[in-house]
Chains A and B, each alone.
Chain A
Amino acid sequence: MSQAVPTPDLVALRRGIRRRVLFDKLFSLFGWACLAVGLLTLAALLVDLAVDGLPHLRWDFFTSFPSRKAERAGILSAWVGTVAVMIVTGMAAIPLGVAAAVYLEEYGSRNWVNDIIEISVTNLAGVPSIVFGLLALGFFIYAMDLGRSVLTGGLTLAILVLPIVIVATREALRAVPFGVREAAFALGATKWQTVWHHVLPYSLGGVATGVIIALARAIGETAPLITIGALTYIAFLPTSPIQSQPPFVSFQWTDDPFTVLPIQMFNWISRPGDDFQGNAAAAGLVLLVMTLMMNGGAIWLRYRLRKRIRW
């Protein structure tokens, strides 16, 4: 059966292709421009901070307490406070968030109670951080009488980032194919054995990434800590966790007052005159580098663990 195939108008065809490909190129150019806005802003911020801050970044900036004299002021109490608060935040948010996510993803069946919990968790992630500060002020300080301590600060930030940990963990759990769960169940494993021996270990990369991103968010938070009344000027360190007397370990530090890097920065910025502005920039630089390092760590971890397990 022969059928007359009409000769295509190749010139018109090719012109059409060129026109459509041109649009592709224009769009990718536009996309680059959009990206550049974000990247340039970040770069400008970094350069600005570096110009003002780098001259102040000497070793004794890290080992000195804040002072009334700008050239002698340092961030010792602030970075130690930040580390202490992050430890409490991590110890509270990681087990709570991961356990909640495991429940929602592996145990909870689809019913209206779990639907409401799910919606609430998502909404919680969008609540302004200062509202968490108010909650913490009312609950941890007035109701539970924990004081304006490292513990209160850490727990406040822990609730703040809990939704991030939960959402990230759930996504990581969901990435484990159902075939693996079925294989474990088919061998007579219980839910807990399946989760503990298989699902959690295989999703560790995603969970760890989510945790680090949550902590990176917490490290820069200022408003909720100011709300609970964290001090802005502290010239001493929390009690050391290691003691020379028995029992050699002390948890007194969780009860001590604290300040953190962003609050120290805020304090310096709000001083009149230019003396302290350089210090603020230097502290900002330290904070930014800490955040970038944590995010970098998250990327590295994800890469390492993904290489081992790829579905």
Chain B
Amino acid sequence: MGDLKAEAIGLDFHYGEFQALHAIDLPIHENAVTALIGPSGCGKSTFLRCCNRMHDLYDGSRYGGEVKLYPDGVNIVGDDVDPIEMRMRIGMVFQKPNPFPKSIYDNVAFGLRTRGGLARSEIADAVEPALKSAALWDEVKDRLQESAWKLSGGQQQRLCIARALATGPELLLLDEPTSALDPIATAGIEELILALRKRITIVIVTHNMQQATRISDWTAFFYLGRLVEFGATKQLFVKPEKAETEAYLTGRFG
């Protein structure tokens, strides 16, 4: 199933005194979807937010170990690595759709504008393909200057995906992207993820195990800040190796 796009090697993470992640070893396969599952507070979102240094925004966070991003093999959580560079190379979509209260166009263009030195036309040229990749173009092409807040929840979340795609990220992190959406909008996002995975590596945190089976190639089960089991999704759901994984999958806890 292809090469590795990223790889966590002995990743630790602390919030102040509290250790939230313990020695995580997790490969992220290129152009595939990796789902992170586990009960609330197991560290799956914490892991995801390590991958674009989101924790740096808050005082008292500390990383240990490595998360390598290939092909160059830079350690994402390295002290000497600029978190801004990592966030420019890695896109993220959040649980609650959080478009800026600006126009649809400005939402998609913002990531490119922050980079500076791009001509207006270069930015304009990037907006349409980004919206097309996020399967939103046909719905919004006639009202790009309207406020993004006029869109429905599902459209807003696809706009957030377009916003993340516009800068051409090497890796896309999705933090429970459908948990605030209704079933129809959720189906739309899932379809989009399946369409995207051929050309971009995706890591998705999800609470919904059916969702993980529907859209992911690989699944990692987190529990109490540790990676319990990792494997091909089909294998892991049908024949988990660890007793804890089986207990969680069959609904005995979590």
A: which residues have CB within 8 A of B? Answer: 109-110, 177, 179-190, 193, 197-198, 202, 308-309
Q: Which residues of B contact A202 (CB under 8 A)?
A: 101
Q: With A182-B54, A308-B101 known to touch, is A188 a contact of B115 (CB < 8 Å)? A: yes
Which of A180, A193, A308 is in CB contact (< 8 Å) with B114?
Answer: A193
Q: With A179-B94, A181-B57, A182-B57 known to touch, is A187 a contact of B114 (CB < 8 Å)? A: yes
Smallest beta-carbon distance A194→chain B, Å: 9
Q: Is the Cβ of A182 less than 8 Å from the Cβ of B101?
A: no
Question: Looking at chain B, what size class is its interface with the partner chain?
Answer: 20 to 34
Q: Which residues of A contact B100 (CB under 8 A)?
A: 180, 183-184, 198
Q: Is B78 on the interface with A (CB-CB < 8 A)?
A: no
Smallest beta-carbon distance A215→chain B, Å: 27
Q: Which of B85-93, B219-227, B230-238 contacts A (4 or more CB under 8 A)?
A: B85-93
Distance between Cα atoms of A1 and B128 in the complex (Å): 65
Distance between Cα atoms of A181 and B110 in the complex (Å): 13
Q: Is the Cβ of B114 less than 8 Å from the Cβ of A188?
A: yes
B: which residues have CB within 8 A of A? Answer: 52, 54, 57, 59, 84-85, 87-88, 91-92, 94, 96, 98-101, 110-111, 113-115, 160, 163-164, 167
Smallest beta-carbon distance A35→chain B, Å: 36
Distance between Cα atoms of A309 and B164 in the complex (Å): 23
Distance between Cα atoms of A109 and B96 in the complex (Å): 26
Distance between Cα atoms of A22 and B115 in the complex (Å): 64
Q: Which residues of B contact A179 (CB under 8 A)?
A: 94, 96, 98
Q: With A110-B59, A181-B57, A182-B54 known to touch, is A187 a contact of B111 (CB < 8 Å)? A: yes
Additional pairs, 14, CB under 8 Å, beyond known A109-B59, A184-B114: A182-B57, A183-B163, A184-B110, A186-B52, A186-B54, A186-B92, A187-B114, A188-B84, A188-B88, A189-B84, A189-B110, A189-B114, A190-B84, A309-B101
